[in-house]
Amino acid sequence: MTESEAKESGLWLADHCSIAMLGTVDRKGGPAIKAMLKMENEGLRTVWFTTNTSSRRVARLREDARACVYFVDDQEFKGLMLQGTVEILQDPESRRRVWRQGFEIYYPKGIADPDYSVLRFTANRGNYYHQLENRDFDL
């Protein structure tokens, strides 16, 4: 598979998966992973999530912004791993961008709830896997 094919297939996964695994580094330097609801993606470069400001995930990311995001098609056994960093955002524009009806259950004070944070993951590298082939690429 060419790099172009890997990126194209990886983009299909990113566009069609509603859940992504967000991997971070814990306080002892070990890996920590969590399934997250993907709010949006801008190509392969940027993936948006929401979370509670008070979460352990945010505390970890404040200490070490390195992260990876993994998308999987478990029916066809395809996977896309993206490596990069995460920014924790609380500005009104970012909050409005990914706010969805029903979030009031988690953030009772609405879009301005101090416990509502947006995570913007920015990738710099990727790897696409399918049919026993791996293809690394830079972004």
Q: Could you tell me the CATH number of the domain that includes residue 129? A: 2.30.110.10
Ranges of the chain whose pLDDT falls below 70: none
Ramachandran bin of 104, using left for φ above 0, alpha for ψ from -120 to 50, beta for the remaining angles? alpha
**Domain total of the chain:** 1
- What pLDDT sits at residue 98? 97
Report helix, strand and coil shares of the chain as percent, to nearest 5.
25, 45, 30
- What pLDDT sits at residue 96? 97
- What pLDDT sits at residue 83? 98
Tell me the pTM: 0.94
> What is the rounded CA–CA span in Å between residue 44 and residue 115?
28
Structural domain of residue 11, as residue ranges? 3-138
The rounded Cα 77 to chain-centroid distance in angstroms is: 20
- Residue 126 CB neighbour total at 10 angstroms: 25
- What pLDDT sits at residue 48? 98
